[in-house]
C-alpha cells in the first residue's frame, strides 16, 4: 500500500501544485506583461501542456485510490474521511472534465478565429473553475493530513 500512497500523493502534488503555480504565480505576471491576444494564445499553449499532466494525474489518483479502497475492504468499510476525499476528488475530476471538454475547447476555437472577447470570456470561466478546484484540492489535502 506504500507505493500506492506515494503514487496517489504524486498525482495530487502535480495537479494541485500545478493549479497553484498557474493561478497564484503565472497568472498575475502574464496579465501584467502580455497584451490580450498574446496572453490568450499563451494560456492556450500552457493549458495544452498542463492538461496532459492533469489527465495523467487523474488516472494515477483514481487508479491508486480505488485500489487502496479495495484493499481497505471496499466502499462499505471506509472511514468517513476517505468517503469525503473520494467525493471531493470526484467533484474535482468532473470540474476538470467540464473545463477540458467545454471551456478549453471554446478557448481554442475562439483563439483560432481571433475572437478575442469570446476567448477572454472562456479564459475567465477556466480561471474561476481552476480556482474552485484549487480550493477543493486544498480541502482534500487538509482532510487527508488532519485525519492521518
Domain ranges of the chain: 2-146
pLDDT of residue 79: 93
Per DSSP, the three-state class of 148 is coil
For residue 19, the model assigns a pLDDT of 98
Average pLDDT of the chain is 96
CA 22 to chain centre: 11
How many distinct helices (H) and strands (E) make up the chain?
6, 0
Mean pLDDT of 19-34: 97
Residue 77, pLDDT > 90, answer no
pLDDT of residue 148: 62
Amino acid at each position: 500500500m506504500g507505493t500506492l500512497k506515494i503514487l496517489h500523493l504524486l498525482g495530487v502534488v502535480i495537479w494541485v501544485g500545478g493549479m497553484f503555480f498557474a493561478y497564484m504565480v503565472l497568472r498575475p505576471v502574464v496579465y501584467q506583461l502580455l497584451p490580450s491576444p498574446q496572453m490568450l494564445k499563451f494560456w492556450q499553449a500552457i493549458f495544452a501542456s498542463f492538461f496532459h499532466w492533469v489527465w495523467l494525474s487523474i488516472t494515477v489518483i483514481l487508479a491508486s485510490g480505488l485500489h487502496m479502497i479495495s484493499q481497505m475492504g471496499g466502499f462499505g468499510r471506509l472511514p468517513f474521511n476517505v468517503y469525503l476525499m473520494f467525493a471531493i476528488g470526484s467533484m474535482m475530476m468532473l470540474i476538470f472534465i467540464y473545463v477540458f471538454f467545454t471551456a478549453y475547447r471554446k478557448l481554442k476555437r475562439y483563439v483560432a478565429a481571433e475572437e478575442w472577447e469570446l476567448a477572454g470570456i472562456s479564459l475567465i470561466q477556466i480561471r474561476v473553475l481552476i480556482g474552485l478546484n484549487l480550493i477543493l484540492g486544498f480541502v482534500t489535502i487538509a482532510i487527508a493530513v488532519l485525519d492521518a
